[in-house]
Copies of this chain bind each other. A is one copy, B any other.
Amino acid sequence: MEDASIQSVPYPTIKRYPAYLQVLKELKSTGITTVSARDIAERLGLNQVQVRKDLGYSAIIGRPKVGYDIEQLTSALHQLLGWQDPKEAFLIGAGALGSALLGYRGFQEYGLDIVAAFDLDPSKHNTAIHGKKVFPMERVPELAKRMGVLIAVLTVPESAAQECADLLIQAGIRGIWSFSPCKIEVPDNVVVQREELSAGLAVLSVRLSEMLKHENNGPSAPV
C-alpha cells in the first residue's frame, strides 16, 4: 500500500529540484555538510515552506535546528529525478541551436551525456561538432540499438520534427526532449517533453514592458 509511484511528486516541484542540486553542490564544495530549507530558499529566491514541502517528497528527513544532510539530500534528489547514473543521448539536428547544445557541457551535470549527433543534411555527415560526430539520420536505429540509447534531444526545424520523431521511435528511442514548438504524435510508450525557449523570453518582455509603462504613467497622473 505504499505505491505512490504514479507521479506523486508534482511537476513544479520536479522542476525546482535541479536548482536545489546546484545549491547543494556548491555548499558541499565549501565543506559544509548540512543545510536548512531557509538557506536553500534564500539562495534561490523561493519561499522556505515551499522548499520544505518539496524536500518532503524525498525519504530523507531533516533534523530540527540542524537542517538536512547535504550528502543524503543530494542522492535522494538524484534518485527522485532518475539521475543516479548519466543517461546517454543522441542529438538530432545539428543546426545552430543543436550545435550550441552540443558544446554545452552543462548537461553532464544533469545526468545527460550527448554521445552523437545526427542530421538530414549530407554536408554535415562525418564532420564533428564540439568533438561529437555527426551521422546521417538513417544510422539512428543501428547506433541507438548498439549503444542502448533511449533519449534524444530534438533540435530540427518544425517542419521536420514529426518525421524525425517517427524515425526515433522506430529506433527504440523512448524519451524526446523537443525544442520545436509543435506537437509531436507519439505512441503511449514514448515521452515527449517540449522545451519552449521563447516562453521565458515572452515573460521577460511582458514584465519589462509593464515596468517601463508604469514608469512613464506611474509617477505623475494616475488618470
Contacts and interface: CB of A to CB of B under 8 A. Distances in A.
Interface of A: 5-7, 9, 11, 14-19, 22-23, 26, 42-45, 80-83, 87, 96-97, 99-101, 103-107, 109-112, 130, 150-151, 158, 174-175, 177, 181-183, 189, 191, 193-215
Contacts of A199: 14-16, 18-19
A46 to B, nearest CB: 9
Contacts of A23: 182
Q: Which 6 A-B pairs have the closest CB atoms?
A: A100-B100, A82-B209, A18-B198, A15-B199, A193-B204, A45-B183
A22 B180 CA distance: 10
Given A211-B189, A211-B191, A205 B15 contact: no
B96 A99 contact: no
Report copies per complex. 2
A209 B87 CA distance: 11
A182 B103 contact: no
B18 A196 contact: yes
Contacts of A100: 96-97, 99-101, 103-104
Contacts of A191: 204, 207-208, 211
A5 B208 contact: no
B151 A208 contact: yes
Q: Which residue, A19, A101, A195, A205, has most C-beta atoms of chain B within 10 A?
A: A205
29 contacts: A5-B214, A6-B210, A7-B206, A9-B206, A11-B203, A15-B196, A15-B203, A18-B199, A19-B196, A26-B158, A42-B183, A43-B183, A44-B182, A45-B183, A82-B206, A97-B100, A97-B104, A100-B100, A106-B197, A174-B208, A174-B212, A175-B204, A175-B207, A175-B208, A189-B211, A189-B215, A191-B207, A193-B200, A195-B200
